[in-house]
Chains A and B, each alone.
Chain A
């Protein structure tokens, strides 16, 4: 199996702009080419797109708009973790020798049909994501004493981190009080505990060890991968105080990279709702089970950016198909030491956790310089 590096990236600002999805994708690819001077279109063996948009043959359209005639092109759709899953498909093409250079581009529009799940009968009339997140929130509060203030701290921290991310949708700091007083959507979550649907696009270049030197002097290697889907129905989550899919994906990724959770210097985790980050830091092994909120509070108090330095989904906005790729781009910048005001000092090992469909499916990547 060949080693696979991330050798370049391009990203657009997350907005509420009403642009066609293919224009969003093409913009991120253009930005990637501008950032990667030695790359020309004929180098690209594969172009894979990630989106929950129902438009057709977007990989072919994006290839044509950017002058690429690829050997391999297709779309990857798995709702909110389409981005990270798409990167893994590209990894597999390169590791197997079917491609040496793969372009992965994820995008979404603010009005994506992927925002609400229509298939899941088990949710009854309660299809909107605020319902599943309320159930997780309530269960974690009940078992571990997590409070509404704990939730607000996640959002305050991530909105604050996003101020240093030029591509984030939000450009405003929110106090714990602002968040606690934002509109109650349910008894357990408020408006500012929720990530915000927006338009955006992000692209990465994956290359085999044989050709990486042509494109970058500072490759970031993907050394661990884990994916787990426990079901498609929300109510099949066995325990609402934990995210089983994340725990299992993380175990596989740690094993593949021979790393432990204590060796992760920086991580982007899928904070679709405030409660998600609290549970994820537990299930990724950064905090003891039940101590997730304490762990997040300590980061907030000490201005430690090791979790969600770009602002996560809460601070950056959540253009579904772009999110996983944007998470990867942040870790690439961190491990290259190029994250400027967001930089976590001395970061050598990074992790991305991208999740979908009411926590039933998770993807974890471990990356190293």
Chain B
């Protein structure tokens, strides 16, 4: 299992960041895809922005953007009322069980 998956399994959403050129490496890897330098692992901000969303039955799924760089698809839970593109959301849970899962709520709720 990769460092990323091990951390996800513990509920930590982490990213690889280059020690040499400081770029965020996403999708995560153990070396930088710009300069091939070594990476350090660090937590990703909990705050994200909704880039786009849709719905399957009662599940709202969205593309969320962290730190203006990292984009993932996750589910948006505990919604009351409308959501908008650009809405600030927070990562409330992440896990790994063969595949990654990201669960969001509206920030401030």
Contact = CB atoms under 8 A, between A and B. Distances in A.
Contacts, number: 71
Interface residues of B, number: 22
Interface string A132-168: 0011011100100000000000000000000000000
A123 interface: yes
Contact of B72 (A127, A134, A135, A235): A235
B54 A138 contact: yes
A295 interface: no
B54 A124 contact: no
Contact of A124 (B28, B85, B102): B102
B99 A138 contact: no
B55 A187 contact: yes
B100 A124 contact: yes
Contacts of B63: 135, 235, 240
Contacts of B56: 130-131, 134, 185-187
Contacts of B38: none
Interface in B61-98: 61, 63, 71-75, 85
Interface string A230-254: 0001111000100000000000000
A126 interface: yes
A122 B72 contact: yes
A121 interface: yes
Nearest to A231: B27
Interface residues of A, number: 26
A186 B100 contact: no
Given A235-B63, A235-B71, A125 B99 contact: yes
Which has the most chain A C-beta neighbours within 10 Å: B52, B54, B55?
B54
B99 to A, nearest CB: 6
A186 to B, nearest CB: 5
A188 interface: yes
Given A127-B99, A233-B27, A235-B63, A122 B53 contact: no
B54 A186 contact: yes
A121 B4 contact: yes
Contact of A135 (B52, B74, B101): B52
B52 A122 contact: no
Contacts of A240: 51-52, 63
A72 B25 CA distance: 38
B66 to A, nearest CB: 11
B101 A124 contact: yes
Contacts of B61: 126, 131, 134
Contacts of B71: 122, 235-236
Contacts of A125: 73-75, 99-102
A40 B103 CA distance: 59
Which has the most chain A C-beta neighbours within 10 Å: B28, B100, B101?
B100
B25 to A, nearest CB: 12
9 closest cross-chain pairs (CB), A and B = A235-B71, A187-B55, A134-B54, A126-B73, A124-B73, A186-B56, A125-B101, A124-B102, A138-B54
Interface of B: 4, 26-28, 51-56, 61, 63, 71-75, 85, 99-102
30 contacts: A120-B27, A121-B28, A121-B72, A122-B27, A122-B71, A123-B72, A124-B73, A124-B74, A124-B101, A124-B102, A126-B61, A126-B73, A131-B56, A131-B73, A134-B61, A135-B63, A135-B73, A138-B53, A138-B54, A139-B52, A142-B52, A142-B85, A185-B56, A187-B55, A187-B56, A188-B54, A235-B63, A240-B51, A240-B52, A240-B63
Given A131-B61, A235-B73, A240-B52, 6 more contacts: A124-B72, A124-B99, A125-B75, A135-B52, A135-B53, A137-B54
